Structure 1
Amino acid sequence: MKFFKSTHEYSYEWNLVSAAQWQKYPNENCPHVSHVDVLNRQMDPETGILTTERLITVNQNIPTIIRKILGSSSTQYVREISIIDPKKKTLTMRSINLTLCNLLSVEETIVYQEHPEDQTRTQFTQQAAIKAGSLVSGWSNVLEEFSLRRFKQNADVGRDGFNKVLEKFVVMAEAKETATASAL
């Protein structure tokens, strides 16, 4: 099993970052994400906690030889459960691949939370556990290493893409605020 962990700070308040997260896809940095479908959404009226289950459709660039051996297509599916707690100011997103999970399992947890020392910033933590299945035990280390490298690359690209989405979101929020102030 291989592990990945990354942290980052956004120079924006948690409310803005967590709202922008729902607008992350589509973006030009992540064209491999083709669809994000909401399967279920529930809000606890007592706590205000919103739980959302989504199915993410991803078109991976899998080498043709591997696709032929596994009998798979380049379309992959990921299940994500997100929990947003407005009182604690946390957005936790857990995802796992559904496609080819018997060969390779990738469990990811992302947490956006208000920075404990500065309410104008947001802490971002991303963790993943990558584990090859028993069917490929002879190739486990090679497959896990390859997948870890790919995951790191995608994490960097995803963070860059989200930064662009976040910047657009901030501009839109500021324009809305200016328009509202002008109307008064």
Structure 2
Amino acid sequence: MVKFYQHTSSYEHAWDNVTYAFWLRYPNPFASHVLGCDVIDRSVDPETGILRTTRLILKKGVLPRWGRNLIKNPDAYIIEESEVDPRTHTMVTRTRNLNHARVMQVEETQTFSLHPENPKWTQVKTEARIVSELRWGLTGRIEAFGINKFVDNSARARKGMKHILERLRQNAATAGAAPAPEC
């Protein structure tokens, strides 16, 4: 079995500012579970101008009581790969956990683009796939836990982005300048 999640949201902020905030989103009060974030690789394609980045993120995990015998250390290493295309105003991020993948693999794709109804805003489409290869009748329970945690964490992530965007807006108002450079 596989669980899927899809959600579309928007920020009343320009695409340049939202993509800038994405890189600054840790730390924030809604992401206390994020222990670290490191850039592994970053490059710009000289022909297309596309920025490609790979980051490693360490998150503090939380297990239900029934899952504590399956995993001794709930912390998760996440690989995040992203492409920012300044010409099309599109940023696509793909994340997946590197450890505990047999118990539960979480793959997320987010697409940041200009809002179709208001180009001064940004639309974000989030898609996730959660699958467990564990048997013993636990697959459904693990995947249900995973999708519920993902929904909760996605809502917190949106709150965190709004927090960072508001701080950027406040800083720009104080400085009297645009909050983000052109990508």
TM-score exceeds 0.5: yes
The gaps in structure 2 that reach 5 residues or longer are: 179-183
- Which stretch shifts more, 70-79 or 42-51? 70-79
Aligned equivalent of 2:113: 113
Percent identity over paired residues = 35
Offset at residue 72 of structure 1 (A): 2.6
Offset at residue 48 of structure 1 (A): 0.6
1:103 and 1:136 in contact (8 A); partners too: no
The gaps in structure 1 that reach 5 residues or longer are: 180-184
Aligned equivalent of 1:122: 122
Q: Aligned pair 1:8/2:9, yes or no?
A: yes
1:104-153: per-residue Cα shift (whole Å, max 9, x none)? 111100111112332211001111000111x3252111111111111101
Report the CA distance shift for 1:178/1:77 in structure 2 as closer, same or farther (over 3 A): closer
1:30-41 equivalent positions in 2, closer than 5 A: 30-41=31-42
1:77-156 equivalent positions in 2, closer than 5 A: 77-133=77-133, 135-136=134-135, 138-156=137-155
Aligned equivalent of 2:56: 55
| CA distance in 2 between partners of 1:58 and 1:111 (Å) | 22
Give 4+ residue runs of structure 1 displaced > 3 Å after superposition: none
- Which stretch shifts more, 135-144 or 119-128? 135-144
Give the AA of the match of 1:152: V
Q: TM-score, normalised by structure 2?
A: 0.91
| CA distance in 2 between partners of 1:18 and 1:77 (Å) | 23
How many residue pairs are counted as aligned between the two chains?
177
Question: As a proportion of its length, which structure holds more helix?
Answer: 1
| CA distance in 2 between partners of 1:107 and 1:85 (Å) | 22
User: What SS is found at the alignment partner of 1:70?
Assistant: coil
Aligned equivalent of 2:175: 176
Offset at residue 66 of structure 1 (A): 2.6
Look at both structures and tell me which one has the larger radius of gyration over its CA atoms.
Answer: 1
1:105 and 1:132 in contact (8 A); partners too: yes
Aligned equivalent of 1:182: none
1:61-115: per-residue Cα shift (whole Å, max 9, x none)? 2246633x23431321010101000001011100011110012111100111112
1:60 and 1:75 in contact (8 A); partners too: yes
Give the AA of the match of 2:112: Y
Give the AA of the match of 2:53: T
1:82 and 1:92 in contact (8 A); partners too: yes
